[in-house]
Structure 1
Amino acid sequence: MSIRSLPEIVGETKANLRCLTPQAARDMLADQPEALVIDVREPLEVSEKQAAGTINLPRGVLEMKIPEYTTDPETPIFLHCATGGRAALAAEALERMGFRHVSIIDCSCDEVMQALGAA
């Protein structure tokens, strides 16, 4: 048996998630002011560039820190990272926790910033 690669794992994970374009996410966010937009990149990455209105909760501490922002399983949550991989893994973790409306913005950070504006 061989070890599965990260791209294989991410691809399988994304197949079971709601993946959005940055434009679709922007449109949905306009109708959901209570939604959280979470950037799961590391703080150093976020210090270089960040999309407007996002919360930085790095992938490694997401499950521990999300209760500081919401414990309501109905809260719409949009996740993004640099390329979509960490966001996919983070979305899977949040769904396992019981959050029901988790989406990933499946694109580069630059594309998220173009759609949402820069912080």
Structure 2
Amino acid sequence: MLRSIADIMAEVKAPLNTITAQQAALMCQSKNGVLIDVRETSERAQHAVECAVHIPRGVLEMKMLSLYPDEKLAIFIHCGSGFRACLAAEQLLRLGYENVWAITCKQDAVFAANS
């Protein structure tokens, strides 16, 4: 039986730490965390979040371990809608990162104001 994206997202999102953009901006700064933008390059070019590190979702697992080897680092994941952020956060937890947050709302303006 095929499952809808909404069903999958409800399942994936349930155990995750989710956060609004405004909360993430404050926590990222106070915890010396990193904001990861998992959108594709073309999407990011249209509305870049200047304070974010760009690692497209398709290569996230391969790049994170070498770029950020500290499993306790506060990591905040951003995308356009929150869906890829949740999928990315799930994978980072599987890799062993302990402090991962998925931003589940549009936040470009918030991070632009705080960069």
Q: What's the TM-score bracket when you normalise by the shorter of the two chains?
A: over 0.9
Partner of 1:47: 45
- Provide, for residues 72-98 of structure 1, a one-character-per-residue CA deviation record: whole Å limited to 9, x for no partner: 100110001010000100000000000
* Offset of residue 9 of structure 1: 0.7
* 1:39 maps to amino acid: D
Deviates most, 80-89 or 48-57: 48-57
Distance in 1 separating the partners of 2:29 and 2:54 = 20
d(CA) in 2 for partners of 1:41, 1:59: 6
- Measured in 1, the distance between the counterparts of 2:57 and 2:50 equals 19
Identical counterparts, % of pairs:
39
CA displacement at 1:18 relative to structure 2: 0.7
CA distance in 1, matches of 2:97, 2:50: 23
Structure 1: gaps of 5 or more residues: none
Query: Partner of 2:102: helix, strand, or coil?
Result: strand
Aligned to 2:98: 100
Tell me the TM-score normalised to structure 1 length.
0.90
Q: Could you tell me which amino acid in structure 1 is paired with residue 110 of structure 2?
A: A
Question: Size of the alignment, in residue pairs?
Answer: 114
Instruction: Write out per-residue CA displacement over residues 20-76 of structure 1, whole angstroms, 9 at most, x where no aligned residue.
Output: 01111112122122x110011101100111112101111110000112321110011
4+ runs of 1 displaced by more than 2 Å?
Answer: none
2:110 is matched with which residue? 115
Which amino acid letter does the alignment assign opposite residue 69 of structure 1? L
Q: Do structure 1's residue 11 and structure 2's residue 10 form an aligned pair? A: yes
2-structure distance, mates of 1:52, 1:11: 30
Alpha-carbon distance in structure 2 between the residues aligned to 1:97 and 1:67: 8
Equivalent pair of 2:28/2:74 in contact (CA under 8 Å): no
Runs (5+) with no aligned partner, structure 2:
none
Q: Report the secondary structure of 1:63's partner residue.
A: helix
